[in-house]
Amino acid sequence: MNTPKKIVMIHALLLALVVFHTALAKPVDKTKRRSTSLTRVELKQANSRLAELGYGKGPSAVILFQKWEGRKLTGHISRDDFDVLMSANAPEAKDNGYRHVEVDLDRQLLLLIDDDGTITRMLPVSTGSNKHYKEKKMSGLAYTPRGRFRIYAKISGWRESPLGLLYYPSYFSDGLAIHGNPEVPHTPQSHGCVRIPMSAAVSISKLLPVGTIVLIYDKDSFVSAKDWAEADKLKADAVIRE
């Protein structure tokens, strides 16, 4: 038989268990947590920061930022994105000191670089899928070559190629071109060309005269063209002196 002392101890233990479970079940005060959604002030700060870093404005700017920083591509700024954005540095060219174009295959981005090495324009691209294809009586590897190239030919308007239509193509290697396309997915999906948005095709074509240097690289390969740029400069100076 339980003694009164034991009964009191049991009641005390049960009461302690009830209090403990009640404490666990108590709702968490959400005001003590940092909200995952951004306030209007923070969204305004984010948009200003995107423009300041050279990405531009709107969802397209967010995509460029997310591509450059290796973030998940959503087109909107999450709390984690915001934290990274506010402490991020502006994108920098791989090579500098001369006017050229860079295609970053890992980030799937095209960069226009001026004589000072400043990025003046940034666009999303879709390059070669690195998969074998067999279509329209043709077959091959959908590969965008790495290395240094020059724009050697251009066409205004549409160009019908064996594998499809190209809009304002600027050719850089064996029929491969930087050109407008209605579909520019976030991943490499082309046959080897560098697809850019249709809305940018005309303006980009005007900025890529024949002779423009194009650098295409990934994390494992990069070749500078500073010697080409220096040779171009010497040649231009010689013409001026004549």
Lowest mean pLDDT among 25-39, 68-82, 83-97, 225-239: 25-39
Whether 143 contacts 132, CB under 8 Å: no
Whether 142 contacts 152, CB under 8 Å: no
CA distance to 45, 54, 134, per residue, from 110 (Å): 26, 14, 27
Q: Is the pLDDT of residue 153 over 50?
A: yes
Side-chain-side CA neighbours of 148 within 13 Å: the count stands at 14
**What pLDDT band is residue 9 in, cutting at 50, 70 and 90?**
low
Q: CATH says 100-241 is which class? A: mainly beta
pLDDT value at residue 241: 78
CA distance to 137, 159, 212, per residue, from 162 (Å): 9, 10, 25
Whether 99 contacts 120, CB under 8 Å: no
Average pLDDT over residues 29-56: 84
Q: Is the pLDDT of residue 234 over 60?
A: yes
**What pLDDT band is residue 137 in, cutting at 50, 70 and 90?**
confident
Average pLDDT over residues 142-168: 97
pLDDT value at residue 31: 44
Locate CATH 2.40.440.10 in the chain.
100-241
DSSP codes of every residue in the chain: ---HHHHHHHHHHHHHHHHHHHHHHSPP-GGGSPPSSPPHHHHHHHHHHHHHTT--SHHHHHHHHHHHHT----SS--HHHHHHHHHPPPP--SS-SS-EEEEETTTTEEEEE-TTS-EEEEEE-B-B---EEEETTEEEE--PPPEEEE--EE-SSEEEETTEEEEEEEEEETTEEEEEES---SS--BSSSEEEEHHHHHHHHHT--TT-EEEEEBTTB----HHHHHHHHHHHHHHHH-
d(CA 138, CA 65): 37
pLDDT value at residue 36: 82
- If one compares 43 and 238, the residue with the highest pLDDT of the two is 43
**Average pLDDT score, the chain:** 90
d(CA 77, CA 64): 12
